[in-house]
Every structure is written in C-alpha cells, then in structure tokens.
Amino acid sequence: MTGKPPPRGGAGKGAGSRGASRGPRPGGPGKPGFGKASFGKAPFGRPERARTGPRTSALDAAHRAAGLRGEDAAERSPWGSTQGGSAQGESAQESREAPPVRERAPRAPKAGLKPAFRSDPSRPGHNPAARGKAPPPPPLEGPTRREQRAAASATLASGVQTLTVEADEAGMRIDRFLTTRFPQLPFARVQSIVRKGELRVDGKRAKPNDRLEPGSSVRVPPLKLDQPAERPRSPLRDRDDADFIRSLILYEDADMMVLNKPFGLAVQGGSGTVRHVDGLLEALTGPDGQKPRLVHRLDKDTAGCLIVAKTRLAAATLAKSFRSRAARKIYWALSAGVPRLRQGRVSTYLAKEEPTDADARMRVAKHGDEGATHALTYYAMVDQAAQKLSWLSFKPVTGRTHQLRAHAAHIGHPIVGDPKYFDVENWALPGGIQNRLHLLARRIVIPHPRTGHPVDVSAPLPPHMAQSWNLLGFDAARYDPIVDAPES
C-alpha cells in the first residue's frame, strides 16, 4: 500500500485591513470666520510518485549477482531515489509489504566484481552510518531576513512569489510594502501592478492604500524588468550625497528628521527620474543596514517640510499619525486674484482624469464616481497685492494627490506657476516673478514616534518664492490666521 501524497496548502484566512474612506463631514466649521466656500502555495506541478510495482527478473538477477539484498538493493536501484524529493520514495519503499527473506550464508561475489564493493570508502556517497541508527544531521540554519530581502531585491523577483508581512510592517500601505521589499522597482510600476489586480493579499485583490496585517500573505507576480543603468556607487559619491542630505535637515534626533526639500527635487524615482530623495537617503544607511525611510510625499515642485524616519518602528508610528490625522500641516502659496471670502472651507470629491496615469491631473468629481475620494481644505488669505495676487495659507485635513493645487483652481485662484491647474485666461505673469510653482510646505506638527511630544518644524521660503515675497512686499513673519482654522 502506498502512502498518500500530502494535501496541498490552502490560502491563509483573513485579508489585509483596508483604510476606510471618509465622507464629507456635515455642518460648518467650529470657529467664526471660516465659512463654507460658495464654490466651494507550494510550486506548481504534481509530486513525483514512487514506483511500487514488482521488479523485473533481470534486475533481481543483477542484485543477486552483486550479492545485494534488501536495503542494499534499494540503495542501488534507480527506483530507490525519487527525483525532486527522496522522502517520498523512502515512504513508498517502507510502506510496501515485502515477502520474508530466507537467511542464507553470504557467498563470495562472482568473478569480475569488486570484492569490497559494499565497504569501499572511495565509492561516492559512501556512508556506513546511514544504514545504522545514527541520528540525522542537524538542519541547516536558514538565511536571515536581511539576506532574504537582499536576494529578492537583487533578482527583482524572477517569478511568482509569496511574501509574509512581518510584525514591524503592520499597518503599512501595500504600495509602500512593495517599494520597501523591492527598492529598485519604480513607484509607477508598483501602482500599475496593484491597479491591474496582479497582486493578491490573502487571496484577494488589493488597492494601493490598503493596510497590511502581520502574517498576511502577499502574492507578488513576476517582476521581470530591465534593470536600470545605475552609476556604480563610490565612497566619494556617497559622501557628497550624505553631505547634501544633511544640508537640508531642519530637525533631527535618533528616530526621525525633517528635511527642507528644495524645489524641483523628486521624492521618489519614476520614469526618467534619476536623482531623488529616496535614492539620496541610501548614503545615510547605517552599519546595521537600516536606511532612512520616507513617511509621506511632496510633489516634485513643492518645497518645504518632508519627514523621514530613521528606523522601521519610527516609520510605522509616524505613518499612523498621518493616517489618524494627528499630523497638522500648513502650506503657503501665491495665487492669482483675490478670493471674495478671505477665509473659507473647500470640500469636494477628487478623482484622476486618467486612472492609468500615476501623475494624472485631478478633477472635481461627484460622490460615487469611480475612484473619487473626499478632500477637505481650509484656507485663509494672509496678504494681497492689489487685486492681482494673494498670499494664501492652506490647512489640508485630508491628504489627496494634488489636493491643494486642485482646490485652489476650483475656487478660481490657481497657484502661480502651476503647469497642471493654472487656467486663468489672459493672465500675464508680473515682471520679476519666476514661472515656478509657488507652493511651500511651510509648517508641520506631528507627535514624536517615541515620546509622543509634538515636533513643530517650519521651513523657510525657497529662493523663487522669497524673491516674489520681496518684490510684492510680503512679510514672512506676519501672523498667519490659518492657525485658527478647525482641525477637521
């Protein structure tokens, strides 16, 4: 009787938690002055089966001629070892009921055979202890977690594989999880994989912003991509990159740092993007292999405060602060025209015009539209230059793609230098003002990942905005009324 093959493994139960989308909050703001704007498993294949039929008389004759019996004959038989797993062959060999063997005195081997064939130490695979009751060798220690990830990153996943979410990756977005496991995989490619349903979490389709639970099984499709031609790293290059990153630090401790991201520097790589913050952070990798991690993103042409975590635990804690809206952000912008309401609230739904494009323009959508998410922003006018330009301060409650740029255009006052959303007809750029996006992540307040105390950091105006402020006579030290805006 042959042993039954082991059952195939099934998919694990449970699915990654999904972030719940919030709808618009009813009711007006809590403080006066801010009214609602009027416009406003195992590898595939069958296991090898051991052959259990009777041996041919020719094979028995060969065994008798060589003086081999019982266990020795099984060792020398081509059926005694199965290709792809000897355990199955042994199990089938032991489960077969063999007829009793009559004990006979050993006889000398026939001429032409090596007399000491069975005990020849030079024979390949010779191991006398294997036929006794010697204990099996101890199992080899498996590769460490760092070695596993390095191998996956180096090969860029030549085929389908299943990854397990570790405890310190709990709550991580599925797209961030992939970029962490495969650093050289472009972020646009990650978004495409998830959007097309090629990735599964516990057997179910996932969205880019879905959150992962510890122990979840993530099935990753083949990621056969042409490796980008990267410059070989050198100590000189690493030193220059490290010095550049350190020159941007506004705040730093053992757990986190806040960078003053300059205009024009991308946060992550993409099509045609070679130099970006995420790549520069490689130069700050510590002796333990820990690389500083991005916690949130800014648009390429948006300057200002960018938070970076130094450890995985700090990254997970800071990311939770953003999800729970415990982080408070203030942005400054130079907009065309002057709002009729000096302070207001913009509440809309936003969706991509081209769902397949990671950097597509956002449009104001209706509730229930495919891909539409709620976006809420408070704004306040700090100063103005006649009726031509206004200094607006924004406090976003949600964090949608291009939220502030889309909302500024929605209320009729797009941000100066915005190539996607500036649509004022017959509008001429005043002399001395550069045609660059005038948007600054001015200030951020977030609980410290270890102590919980608030970390409050402000960024200075980038050079092109400082030039405009000086030209228009704006005082950057002036009181910003947006601080009194509601937090939700």
Q: Are residues 214 and 295 in the same domain?
A: no
Dist CA 216 CA 219 (whole Å)? 10
Is 375 within a domain?
yes
Q: Are residues 243 and 198 in the same domain?
A: no
> For residue 463, how many C-alpha atoms fall within 13 Å in the half-sphere facing its CB?
3
> For residue 11, how many C-alpha atoms fall within 13 Å in the half-sphere facing its CB?
13
CATH number of residue 471's parent domain: 3.30.2350.10
Q: Are residues 339 and 461 in the same domain?
A: yes
Decide if 411 contacts 337 (C-beta within 8 A): no
Report residue 237 as tokens: 């290059």
- 82-119 pLDDT, tens digit per residue, is 344 444 444 444 444 445 555 555 555 555 544 444 44
Dist CA 469 CA 260 (whole Å)? 19
Q: Are residues 278 and 191 in the same domain?
A: no
What angle, 0 to 180 degrees and rounded to 10, lies between the N-to-C axes of helices 187-195 and 174-181? 130
Residue 63 is classified by DSSP as H
Q: 243: phi > 0 → left, psi -120 to 50 → alpha, else beta; which?
A: alpha
Is 369 within a domain?
yes
Q: Are residues 296 and 391 in the same domain?
A: no
Strands 362-365 and 343-352: antiparallel
Q: Are residues 153 and 272 in the same domain?
A: no
Q: Are residues 345 and 418 in the same domain?
A: yes
The letter for the amino acid at 86 is S
Instruction: Give the catalytic positions in this structure.
Output: 299
Is 66 within a domain?
no
Residue 168 is classified by DSSP as G
Residue that is last in its domain, among 249, 277, 305 = 305
Dist CA 230 CA 227 (whole Å)? 8
Is 36 within a domain?
no
- 262-317 pLDDT, tens digit per residue, is 999 999 877 677 889 998 998 998 887 788 999 999 999 999 999 999 998 899 89
Note the Cα 405 to chain centre separation in Å.
26
CA dihedral over 177, 182, 187, 192, signed as positive or negative: negative
Least confident range of 49-53, 176-180, 309-313, 473-477: 49-53
Q: Are residues 381 and 475 in the same domain?
A: yes
Specify the number of domains making up the chain: 3
Q: Are residues 475 and 331 in the same domain?
A: yes
Is 373 within a domain?
yes
Q: Are residues 257 and 393 in the same domain?
A: no
Has residue 474 got a pLDDT over 80? yes
Decide if 309 contacts 286 (C-beta within 8 A): no
Residue that is last in its domain, among 250, 276, 305 = 305
Is 168 within a domain?
yes
Q: Are residues 377 and 455 in the same domain?
A: yes
Q: Are residues 369 and 437 in the same domain?
A: yes
Residue 279's nearest CA partner among 292, 264, 296 is 292
Is 159 within a domain?
yes
Q: What is the extent of the structural domain holding 197?
A: 146-220
Q: What is the pLDDT of residue 366?
A: 93
* % the chain with pLDDT above 70: 64
